[in-house]
Structures are given as C-alpha cells and as structure tokens.
Amino acid sequence: MPRPTRRVPLARAMITAPQPEAVEAGAAVLSEGGNALDAVLACALTQGVVDPMMCGIGGLGTMVLHDPASGRTEVIDGLSTCPAACADDMWAADFERECADGYGYVVKGGVNELGHRAVTTPGILRVFAHAHAQYGQLPWARLFAPAIAVAEQGWMIRPHVATMFTLDETAVGRLPMVAKLALTADGRRLYLRADGTPKRPGDTVRNPELAATLGGIARDGAESFYSGAIAARMVADMAAHGGLLSAADLAGFKPRLSRPLDITYRGRRLAVPPPPAGGIVLAEMLRILERFDLTALGHNSADYIRIVAEAMKIAGADKEAHIGDPDFVPPPLAMLLSDAYADRQAARIRAGEKAKLTRVGADSKDTTTISCVDAAGLVVSLTHTLGVPSGVIPPGSGFMLNGAMNWYDPRPGRPGSIAPGKRRFSSLTPGIIFEGDTPVMTFGAPGGAWIGVALLQVVLNVLDWGMGMQEAVSAPRFSATTDEIDISNRIPRAVQREVEAMGYTVRRWPQSYPFAAPHGITMWDGVLEGGADPQRDGYVAGISSAPPRNPGIA
C-alpha cells in the first residue's frame, strides 16, 4: 500500500513575527493583494496594540528593504534622537552606575527611564510613512484597519505579554515593569487589575482611545503625529510634567535613508543596517569567523563555543570603543571589516587569547521584529521598539511613549553620551542575505545586546550547517556579551564542563530558548520557509492562493 502524501501548496508570500494577531493582520493584507511592505506595516501597527510595552507609534526602529523592480536595497532608519533641550551633563551628577547586564544606565530617581524626561523623539511613524510613499501598494488607511479593530474589540493577554508585564529587573538596575504600567491613570485602567497587579493571561484589554488615535493617523497621515493634533497633545503633556520633548523636535524629525552595510560570508552577501544600528557587530563577527572551518568542530561543541564566543567578545568590545552616532563619532568601518583586521583577530583566537569585554552597553530587550516576502520578490525586514518603556501615555491617546533616554550614557565625553539631536547605538539588526543578486534569507530579532549574537548563530546555522529556518531559530544558543559565556539549558552539561576547563566562567540559563528571539524566512530556489522563535507567541504564515482580481479595498 503506498504511503499517504501530504500535499501542501507552496507559499507565494510569507510573513513571520512574534505576535499571532499581528501575523494574522499581515497575512490578511497579503491575501487581499497587498505587497510585503503593506503587510509589514499592518503587522507592525497591530504589534503596537497587542505588545504595548515592546513597540508602538511612540517608538523607533529600522527597516531594510529590497525592491526587485529596481534592484535597490535600502535602509530606512527611524532611531530616535535626544530632544534639543538635552545637555550632555544634565544627569552627570546623578549618575550611579551602569545596569548590571549592560542594558542602560542608572540615574538617581530613575528619571532617564520612567516619566516624561525619559522620552526621546519617536521615529517609527516617519519610517512607515516614507516606506509606504515609496513602496506601498494598498491605501495607507487600509493598513491601519486590523490594528484599529483589535484595539476596539479587545485582545487577550498572552504568555509573553504577561511575562513582560510582571518583569522585575531591580536587581540589574531597571525599574519593575509594573511601575511603567501604573505611571498614568490610562495605564492603570488599561493594563492593571482592580487590585493593582498586572493583567494575566486570558484577561482582555480594550483600548478605544488608541483606536481613535490610529484612526486619526489613518485619515490624516503621519503628519498628524508630528505636527498636528496628536503632536499638540504630546507636547502639552510634556509641558505639564517637565518633559524634554518639544514641538520642534517632533516636526523636525526625519528618517535617515542609506545604503546597507554589505559584507560577504562564504560567498554570500549580507545587507544589514549601518551605525548607529547594530549591523556592524554581526558583520564583524562573520568576517572573523569566516577564517575558521566551523563545521569541522561540531555544532555547539566546546571548541565551537569558544571560537564563536571570542568573536562575539571582540566585536562587542569594538562596538563599545568605536560605534555611536556617525554624526558625532565617525566609525572606523573600513578598518573593522578589513581582511587584515579579521586575520589578526582570528589569529588571537587560534592562539587561545581571551578578549576582554567587561560589559556591553545596549538598548533594551523590549523590542519586536517582522520579516516578509511577497510573490513579486519584495523583501522587508523591520525591527522596532520602545527602547525602555517610559510609562508615559499622553492622556486619552492610548499609546505609550519610549523611554530611550535610558540608552544614553550620562557621563559626558563618551561615544554614547547625551547630546541634542544625537542617535544612540542600537542593537536592532534587521537584514537580508543575497546569493548573487537574489535574496535568499531575511532575519531579525528582539533582544537588546543579544540580538547580534543570536542572529549570528541563526546565520551560521543556515549558511554553515544547512539548517532550515525553523530549525535554525530553534537550535540551542549561547551568548558572550561579557567575559562570561551564557548558555541555553539545552546545551549539554558535559560541553559546559569542557568550556569551563578552558578557563571560562559559564552561566547556565534556566530557559530553553534564551538570548533574543530570531524570526526569519529563507527563499532558496524560490521556496519560502519561515521560522518563529519558540519562546515568543508568534508564528509563520504562508499565503499560497493568488489574491482576488478585485479585492475591493477602499
């Protein structure tokens, strides 16, 4: 008797993200005839509703996009800027310490993390507006419909949202998340139970104010946020509470358009965002590791972990020393990515030398990502975030503003110090991999300083080890963002003992899927395969049927 065969139509388009409602929104747009950019915007706007501490219209982000019609690959950078009212020494006397895990800085009273003085100029809606004007296919207003519907009808607290709501990082220097949820009356009403505790899995959140705000942006465009009625509401709230953000900051914000930072690895080209985004860290690690026959070592063997971890530490230390806002600190990219420099660093690793990396300063883990490809070959990768949520919800608006001043070093004279109009280094690293001129993979991840090290391992898993995308994002990971090596609980203890015998301190994490949350899509030979990190609540959606001839979208 012949074996039964499961016939699954090949997907003609695909999207993956960490939130199920957001993936559903993007997939619906693809099914109705929208392209990958349309789907990513619908997905991202919905993410801002259902993951309110991770992202939203009060946040920032970076997009990498490849347009097959023009052959152009473009980076649209919406990383936030310090308000003009900032001064480099305004918190110097109140500086206490760096956060123990490297995610930000502790200032007396937490004013750089919680409340109105923590807010930087939000940039993400400018990214959305520019990308839609250049590449969008469906009407702008249509892309807001799923997010508006979810905000009006309500959404259910999922496990990962509940984890974020109850997160308490006082031990490392950050305020507990409940302090952000409880800062404003609107936050308490939306996200807390009657007893003052965060809502739990299965509880419902309805946010009609956010639905109205999104409806206004859908109708009037992004300018309503930057110079219209929504801007006026934000500025009035800032003035009432001693905030730094001004009308001029909002009106003057423009996204940065650039070519990606391109490198080759094993004959394939990676396109990642240049500084102040995090592509340089991934690029430098790959340049160093190309000097090694990694597959001869065995996947996640002790020798493999040692070599890859040393590349992580070298790139992390170089980022700390050299990378900030290029407008303020020109980065030595040619040197860091040169053959000669990669050869020297590889030689250090072969000689058994241990790089020093006391701590990595980076953005928060409160971030999310989307990857999408459509039938015409348009590829979009977006990572966006609130940085550290400020807790500030402008009255009646329904959305939270970022608290990304926490990223800036309160000590003057450093690459990451405070300055008016300055962008801070961000680990955000959405990217696309090409074989020749053909895109074959897109990737991105939330996870702060872990983004680069997690995406490195996903890229190695696919390009060196031949894994499919779901296997690549699910495989056990490790991290070296300090002198210690952190490992997943699924890496064998015998391997841990071998690494420790090499003179390393190894910390075993209780989670099975720690260190960022990569998502992505491979496109080998035109066959789409997506991967969604199992630690988050999202999934991969493939669209196999052709869109209707007349989708009837208003």
What angle separates helix 302-322 from helix 493-501, to the nearest 10 degrees?
A: 60
Q: Which residue type is seen at 298? A: G
Give the CA distances from residue 380 to residues 13, 56, 74, 383, 460, in Å, rounded to whole numbers and listed in that order: 12, 18, 10, 10, 21
Give the end-to-end CA distance of the chain in Å, rounded to a whole number.
52
- Going by C-alpha positions, the residue among 294, 320, 309, 299 that lies closest to residue 348 is 309
Nearest CA among 522, 525, 495, 523 for reference residue 508: 495
506 Cα distance to chain centroid? 26
Q: How many CA atoms lie within 13 A of 237 on its CB side?
A: 20
Q: Enter the DSSP assignment of 525.
A: G
427: burial class by Cβ within 10 Å (0-12, 13-18, 19+)?
A: buried
Under 8 Å CB-to-CB from 128, ≥6 apart: which residues?
A: 41, 44, 45, 222
The token pair at 326 is 């290029």
What is the Cα–Cα distance from 520 to 443, expressed in whole angstroms?
Answer: 4
Q: What is the dihedral of CA 166, 177, 56, 159, to 10 degrees?
A: -10
The SS3 of residue 155 is strand
Q: Which of 262, 307, 295, 298 is nearest to 280 (CA)?
A: 262
Q: What is the 3-state secondary structure (H, E, C) of 185-239?
A: HHHHHHHECCCCCECCCCCEECCHHHHHHHHHHHHHCCHHHHCCHHHHHHHHHHH
Give the catalytic positions in this structure: 367
